[in-house]
Amino acid sequence: MLTLWWRSEINTVFQRQRPKTKDQRPKTKDQVLISNSRFQIPEFNFQIKKMIDYVSSTVEHIRRELGKIIVGQDEPIEQILVALLAEGHALIEGVPGTAKTLTVKTLSRIVNANFGRIQFTPDLMPSDITGTNVFNVATSAFNLRPGPIFTDILLADEINRTPPKTQAALLEAMEERQVTIDGELHRLSPIFTVLATENPIEYEGTYPLPEAQLDRFMLKILLDYPEEAQERQVVANWDAGFNSRRLSDVDIQPLTDADAIARCRHEVATARMEPGVQHYAVDLVRRTRAHPFIHYGASPRASVALLLCSKALAAIRGRDFATPDDVRDVARPVLRHRLSLRAEAELDGATPDAVITDILKSAEVPR
């Protein structure tokens, strides 16, 4: 009996000291990463993919609902969404009747944003934009009567028809997301965005925007005439009963998440741009300062705008990193309003877009 007990104890000790099998041994950190990469998506990468998918699905919903109202204009709409997600402002230039106002109004409804509109005229005063303190006889105190700038998405219609003094009332709001009235600071909406429009074919009675204010706009978006098939579709829609003055009759589905734009902006901010692509963006901007057709080139603010817009476009396209193609696609709307051409270049028919195209062809693309 003693011998049997001794053998049993020896076997137990050997079993405790015996090395574990290959599957039972604890894995090193590198082995865990390899295992995860072979059999399942790592948790961190899965979360990134989920967040980027949220941005692209949100944008797809906005595009789909805008398509119920707006026919065509895919590229301008994408650029408007880039400005919205990059926390910037956009200047929209197009001839009358190309659905500039309708696009902005519909977008506000889809993203559950408050919509404000200012029709700029030569007699408009700064207080008509920001608001003013009005004396209340009943309480013997001044009460703030907020102006239309206290909103989420502000449409500044025909902004070049008002004097520079009134145009400057937007500067603080666009840059700081705040306004100062009678020395008192008032915060604006976290998603405050200015989408301004101007008419490119009628300059009589207009006031060109100062360079300082033009630089505040992250993008300048050009709206051209629709194609023939698209214009026929517009006419067919109106013949079928559509009326842009009765948007409530159209079955527009707003975003279900009230904080969708704020969440998308956060994901865009966390996207990345590799150093090589950053150098490419900076190189494009610096080349505008040395081009023979340009009198004044773009400032470092343009380099930052290229970065932010490229990241927003990458997120819209379902990626968490920006590529040189993203930079190239946003280069024209980011730079076209920041360049001052020489007089002789304009006489030769040069345009900002043509110069930017020349710079894109000459710049070395990172691989």
| Domain residue ranges in the chain | 73-233
pLDDT for 76-120, tens place per residue? Answer: 999 999 999 999 999 999 888 888 888 999 999 999 999 999 998
> For residue 367, what pLDDT band results from cuts at 50, 70 and 90?
confident
The whole-number average pLDDT for the span 291-308 is: 92
- Determine what percent of the chain falls in helix, strand and coil, rounding each to the nearest 5: 50, 15, 35
Any alpha helices (H) in 170-248, and if so which ranges? 171-176, 211-214, 228-239
Amino acid at 297: G
Alpha-carbon gap, residue 352 to 340, rounded angstroms? 8
Q: What pLDDT does residue 45 have?
A: 52
For the purposes of burial, counting CB atoms within 10 Å of the CB of 8, is it exposed (0-12), middle (13-18) or buried (19 or more)?
exposed
Q: Residue 190: what are its φ and ψ, rounded to 5°?
A: -60, -30
Q: What pLDDT does residue 205 have?
A: 66
Amino acid at 343: A
Alpha-carbon gap, residue 14 to 276, rounded angstroms? 58
Alpha-carbon gap, residue 92 to 156, rounded angstroms? 10
pLDDT for 190-246, tens place per residue? Answer: 899 999 998 877 666 678 887 878 888 999 999 989 899 999 999 998 988 888 888
Residue given tokens 């101007």 in the structure block: 198
CA distances from 240 to 98, 215, 226 (A): 20, 43, 19
Residue 16 confidence (pLDDT) above 50? no
Q: Are 71 and 226 in contact (CB under 8 A)?
A: yes
Q: Which residue has the higher pLDDT, 326 or 18?
A: 326
CA distances from 149 to 170, 214, 251 (A): 9, 18, 28
Residue 159 confidence (pLDDT) above 70? yes
Least confident of 57-71, 91-105, 246-260: 246-260
> For residue 9, what pLDDT band results from cuts at 50, 70 and 90?
very low
> How high does pLDDT run on average in the chain?
83
The answer as to CATH 3.40.50.300 being correct for domain 73-233 is yes
